[in-house]
Amino acid sequence: MGQVWLGYDPILNRDVAVKLIRRDLTTPGPDAEELAERFKREARVTAKFDHPGVPAVHDAVLDREADGVYMVMQLVRGALLTDILARPGVLPVPWAVSVAAQVCSVLSYAHAVPVVHRDLKPDNIMVAGDGTVKVLDFGVAAVLGTDVTKLTSTGHIIGTRRYMSPEQIQAAAVSPRSDLYALGCILHELLAGKPPFTAEAEFQLMEDHMYRAPAPLCGLRAEVDPALERLVLDLLAKVPHQRPDSAQDVYDRLVPFLPAPDPERTTEQRGQEATDPTGPYRRPLAPRPRPSEKAVYTPTAVDSPLRSAAPAVPDEELQQARGHAAALVEEERFSQASGMLEDVLARAAAVRSASEPLMVGLRLVHALALFCDDDYGRALPEYEALVEVLEAAGPNRGEDALYCRRQAAFCRMELGDSEGALAEFEAVLGQMRQGLPDSDMDVLEVRRHVGLLLQAVDRLREAVEALMPLYRDLMAEYGPDAPETAQVRDALVRIRLRTSRTTGSGRAVTGRN
């Protein structure tokens, strides 16, 4: 996708890495503006989480008149995992487990943003000189649209990844569990010396990922513990919801196989063991704590003595805060908007009811700022709390409640909760159909989410039943070249390819179309 140059920052007097994205990918054209927006969004999201296992993003520039699209990043010196795997012999089991555990630590923070890597592979993992594992190229796949394979007009699949999850191959919803599948491929290779599937032909490789069971590790390397082998098999489950729930869960299952802490190990000894990924586990690198279920802030109870003791927050201040925050959102300064509103809401919640119209208005802007900032983990509980308040307010706020329920469903989808998102979107769709035709733009969008989520949770017959009429409606409303139409068409082709392989004919599921 581009080149990485060694650069020098004369202001801060340090070496940096300058990642240039190929000019032909950023040449002005019909997709250039979309690329620019994706690049800006992904660079912002990637910069949100701070972890020693991810090179810091110092700057991101989109300048078609000068150097095109590039990122200025922390320079990391070490060995790519690809090069380590190329060394003679198999890696020690503690090495393999230490690499996977450190990747889990990174993913636990990334998925909380949420950022899904989409292209996790040995080429994107580096072991630094101190043994710290670095995960590279977060966001690049999303920016360039390379997280899924492409289909030609004839249904021929081109392009592949040796570590790509079945749902990515099928153009279904990508979630944190897609990264866990790739991690399973990598851990298998670290333990066995080769990936779980090694076919040279791209189509056969995709078939293997979608349908073939990996070779048992115990037959490839006798000293692999059965519990470790079970973990690899769970990570390589074909259906996302059959994999471990989170990177934290994978980390917990790796802990028994990590090297024990060694307080006697000296600094000099650590320096002699360059690129040894077991080193950091002399003082274990834990993943991010599991998220709590509490909302962004907790309003004070109506009868709390704190309410009367807290200073009043006048209406004028709330109105001014809402206007200022809305302006910041309009300027795409989402983090500033949410931060400012959190301070106001925390003070107002001590003296006002959360259901007051002014408070609801502030919370709607706050949730929108979080949502636009791709901070779905924090936006979700806020939208869910707003749904309760707005539904309790009666029919007059029904439209707002439905909007918040739809936003919450989208948050769940982005956070990888495909089943929860599907249930929410189906409920939203039922309500929308009471007053809107199926051809309405918003209804079409929700129908598309429902169909693709049905595919993601492996309910293929229901997915076809939802996607076929949707495809006809999208053709009528937007035409064959619209991205939404193409996405649904690709999903139907992939379902047919999958079902024809397992049943001998796609007709049983997809019908004549």
Known catalytic residues are 119
Helix (H, G, I), strand (E, B) or coil at 34: helix
Dist. CA 266–CA 115, nearest whole Å: 37
240, 418 contact by CB (below 8 A): yes
Residue with tokens 């809107």: 436
CA 312 to chain centroid, in Å, comes to 41
Joined tokens for residue 65: 């008149």
> Cα–Cα distances in Å, from 148 out to 179, 290, 467?
13, 29, 19
Between vectors from CA 377 to CA 376 and to CA 379, what angle results, nearest 5°?
A: 55
In three-state form (DSSP H/G/I as H, E/B as E, the rest C), the secondary structure along 145-197 is CCCCCEECCCCCEECCCCCCCHHHHCCCCCCHHHHHHHHHHHHHHHHHCCCCC
Burial of residue 201, with CB atoms counted within 10 A of its CB: 0-12 exposed, 13-18 middle, 19 or more buried: exposed
Dist. CA 414–CA 378, nearest whole Å: 12
CA 284 to chain centroid, in Å, comes to 25
Residue with tokens 């999958």: 498
Helix (H, G, I), strand (E, B) or coil at 134: strand
471, 443 contact by CB (below 8 A): no
CA 403 to chain centroid, in Å, comes to 23
Question: Of 378, 348, 356, whose CA–CA distance to 366 is shortest?
Answer: 378
Question: Of 145, 110, 132, 125, whose CA–CA distance to 32 is shortest?
Answer: 145
**Bridge partner residues of 16 (DSSP):** 7, 74
Residue 37: CB partners within 8 Å, gap ≥ 6? none
Dist. CA 204–CA 158, nearest whole Å: 12
DSSP-assigned letters across all residues of 384-452: HHHHHHHHHT-GGGHHHHHHHHHHHHHHHHHTT-HHHHHHHHHHHHHHHTTTS-TTSHHHHHHHHHHHH
Question: Of 45, 52, 111, 46, whose CA–CA distance to 286 is shortest?
Answer: 52
Q: How many residues does the chain have?
A: 513
Dist. CA 234–CA 225, nearest whole Å: 14
Dist. CA 254–CA 98, nearest whole Å: 8
313, 362 contact by CB (below 8 A): no
